[in-house]
């Protein structure tokens, strides 16, 4: 191999290595700070999201605004940071959540007489929101529940969700392909 061939080989190898390195760093930065995939495991969000649905989670949005009621999020389970759940935000910081006789109501302590009953069109017919209780949320705490209320381990069981446990907002369903599309948040 001549010196010229060796030099060309090394130059080409370096260019390939640069491309691979840039691609690796780009993927790492996107997955770490912007978006990451999430595979649904379980039935707590049925019928909207079922076992083996593949979702894309926006990790950047909550750096610019606060989470909103009705949004579907991925979170770290407060009892074990290695376990991830998918749930819907029902209660916001400072609110009081009251669950009584299958009715979910939210009130702001600054105006407790103005309680609103949460209308939940995304719930399956015949859903029962059990676990009658009243929970006062502190600063940076959220109340989350699964849409499949009879099969959801959520804030009714383990209490308020600290804001720092929120991973991100579910933005896109990738799989199954027949349900591919952007995720819409209901208006309250």
The residues annotated as belonging to the active site are 44, 87
Q: 3-class secondary structure for 2-22?
A: CHHHHHHHHHHHHHHHHHHHH
Report how far residue 116's alpha carbon sits from residue 81's, in angstroms, rounded to the nearest whole number.
Answer: 33
Which residue in this structure is represented by tokens 């649905």?
A: 53
Find the mean pLDDT for residues 140-149. Answer: 94
Q: What's this model's pTM, rounded to 2 decimal places?
A: 0.79
Which residue in this structure is represented by tokens 């691609």?
A: 23
**Structure tokens, 178:** 């027949």
pLDDT interval class at 33 (50, 70, 90): low
Asked if residue 50 has pLDDT above 80, the reply is yes
- Cβ-Cβ contacts under 8 Å for 135 (sequence gap 6 or more): 91, 96, 97, 143, 155, 159, 160
Nearest alpha-carbon partner for 128 in 144, 104, 112? 104
Percent of the chain having pLDDT more than 90? 36
Distances (CA, A) of 20 to 16, 29, 57, 63, 71: 6, 14, 25, 30, 36
**Structure tokens, 50:** 């079922």
Lowest mean pLDDT among 60-69, 117-126, 137-146: 117-126
- Pairing mode, if any, of strands 96-100 and 103-108? antiparallel
**In the chain, helix, strand, coil percent, each to 5?**
25, 35, 40
**Structure tokens, 102:** 């299958």
Report how far residue 174's alpha carbon sits from residue 152's, in angstroms, rounded to the nearest whole number.
Answer: 23
For domain 38-175, which architecture applies?
Answer: Ribbon (2.10)
- Structure letter (DSSP) for residue 149: G
pLDDT interval class at 89 (50, 70, 90): very high
pLDDT interval class at 35 (50, 70, 90): low
Q: Pick the residue with more confidence: 53 or 6? A: 53
**Is there a contact between 151 and 44 (Cβ–Cβ < 8 Å)?**
yes
Q: Pick the residue with more confidence: 54 or 140? A: 140
Percent of the chain having pLDDT more than 70? 90
């Amino acid at each position: 191999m001549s010196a010229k061939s060796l030099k060309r080989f090394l130059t080409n190898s370096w260019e390939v290595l640069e491309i691979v390195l840039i691609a690796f760093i780009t993927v790492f930065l996107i997955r770490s700070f912007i978006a990451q995939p999430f595979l649904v495991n379980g039935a707590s969000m049925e019928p909207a999201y079922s076992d083996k649905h593949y979702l894309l989670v926006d990790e950047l949005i909550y750096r610019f605004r606060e989470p909103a009621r009705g949004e579907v999020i991925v979170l770290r389970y407060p009892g074990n940071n290695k376990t991830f759940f998918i749930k819907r935000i029902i209660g916001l910081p400072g609110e009081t959540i009251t669950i009584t006789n299958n009715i979910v109501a939210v009130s702001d302590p600054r105006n407790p007489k103005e309680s609103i009953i949460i209308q939940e069109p995304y719930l399956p017919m015949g859903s029962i929101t059990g676990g009658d209780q009243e929970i006062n949320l502190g600063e940076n705490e959220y109340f989350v529940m699964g849409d499949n209320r009879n099969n959801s381990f959520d804030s009714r069981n383990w209490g308020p969700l600290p804001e720092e446990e929120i991973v991100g907002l579910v933005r896109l369903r990738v799989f199954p392909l027949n349900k591919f599309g952007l995720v819409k948040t209901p208006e309250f």
